[in-house]
Amino acid sequence: MNVLLHYSPGPAWQRDLASLASHELSVDWCDESDDERFYGLLPTTEVLWHVLRPLSAADIARAPKLRLIQKIGIGVNTIDLEAARSRDIAVCNMPGTNSRAVAEMTILLMLACLRRLPVLDRATREGRWSLGPDIQDTFGELAEKTVGLVGYGAVAQMVAPILKAMGAHVIYTDQQPNPGAMQAFRELPELLREADIVSLHVPLTPATANMISREQLAMMRTGAILINTARGGLVRQDALVESLQTGQLGAAGLDVFAAEPVSASEPLLHLDNVVLAPHVSWLTAGTWDRSLKVAVENCRRLLAGEALRHRVA
């Protein structure tokens, strides 16, 4: 079975992929930015392992043998699901495989914002050992902060006990209260007004697109921090920039953006109160190991005519 990983794997990943011949899989790969190679490989591809680069109806039409689109991760908003359904191409994701990695990055961004890590890193590299007294008042701790989790899925449920162990107060909002949650439930407006740190953990859907707009940002406490490791489209990015520039928000930790890759002209890149990463919260060796097992198992099931795991379309 011909499998295409639409991502550029490192040496360890390449060794793992080469070993899959024993599973009756022939795996090739292609960098997400190399459309020429991608289009050249699609005609013989039977299974596509999809990461982030949007997969359009036109892309799918170039793959006449395609039987399965396997998302490496959980969010399928980058896949044209209707085009897949029209060809009876299965679409599967893999919930939980990257939750721990994203949870850890969420905590990392919170701490980096609280301790002004980009400013400290740059100053140290530039030989500025004394930063002056004004910055001292901007350093914070997680302890005693109220952290509001927007969405209470696998990532948020991992983040919550870590925050509590570090002395933070945790509240959350979701479509409805979770009976098993140990945290207090709030409706979104109440959570925004109460939290010192707001962290987003919901999928991007028509209902959640731009859910954090100017109105919601204005509800947040002056100097609050926004963390987004979910999807950039959840936030009105221009409104976020304004809030950071005026001081309505104290900081933001962002792994995702409205448009990716981020343009060099994006104002967020030039703000000292923003911590940035290029959509890699999910990317760890542990995530890859867990993801590969699910992807290979679904290929085995496809070959055997068995029901696929985590089919979403």
Same fold, 2-97+284-304 and 99-276: yes
Range 135-146 burial, b when 16+ CB lie within 10 A, else e: eeeeebebeebb
**This prediction's pTM:** 0.94
Amino acid at 50: H
User: In this structure, are residues 32 and 4 in contact, taking their beta carbons and an 8 Å threshold?
Assistant: no
Structure tokens at 77: 């908003």
| Beta-bridge partner residues of 274 | 252
Backbone torsions φ then ψ of 55, nearest 5 degrees: -105, 110
| Superfamily of chain region 2-97+284-304 | NAD(P)-binding Rossmann-like Domain (3.40.50.720)
**One of 50, 116, 236, 279 is an active-site residue; which one?**
279
Sheet containing 68-71, strands listed edge to edge, beginning at the edge strand earlier in sequence: 26-29, 2-5, 47-50, 68-71, 90-92
Sheet holding 197-200, edge to edge: 184-185, 169-173, 146-150, 197-200, 224-228, 249-254, 274-276
Helix extents (H) in the chain? 11-18, 35-41, 57-61, 81-86, 99-114, 117-125, 154-165, 188-194, 214-219, 237-246, 285-304
**Rounded CA separation 51/8 (Å):** 10
Q: CB–CB of 173/197 below 8 Å?
A: no
Domain definitions of the chain by residue range: 2-97+284-304, 99-276
Residue appearing with tokens 């070959």: 303
What CATH class is the domain 99-276?
A: alpha beta
SS3 43: helix
In tens digits, the chain (313 residues) has pLDDT values of: 999 999 999 999 999 999 998 888 999 999 999 999 999 999 999 999 999 999 999 999 999 999 999 999 999 999 999 999 999 999 999 999 999 999 999 999 999 999 999 999 999 999 999 888 888 888 999 999 999 999 999 999 999 999 999 999 999 999 999 998 989 999 999 999 999 999 999 999 999 999 999 999 999 999 999 999 999 999 999 999 999 999 999 999 999 999 999 999 999 999 999 999 999 999 999 999 999 999 999 999 999 999 999 999 9
Q: Active site includes 306?
A: no
In angstroms, what is the C-alpha Rg of the chain? 21
Which are the contacts of 251, defined by CB distance < 8 A and separation ≥ 6?
113, 114, 116, 225, 226, 244, 273, 274, 275
Q: Phi and psi at residue 206, in whole multiples of 5°? A: -55, -30
Give the span between the Cα atoms of 183 and 178, in whole angstroms.
Answer: 9
**Residue 262: strand, helix, or coil:** coil
- 144 catalytic, yes or no? no
Tell me if residue 231 is catalytic.
yes
Instruction: Spot the catalytic one: 260, 301, 309, 310.
Output: 260
Cα–Cα distance between 229 and 279 in angstroms, integer?
A: 8
Would you call 30 helix, strand, or coil by DSSP? coil
- In the prediction, which pLDDT does 131 show? 85
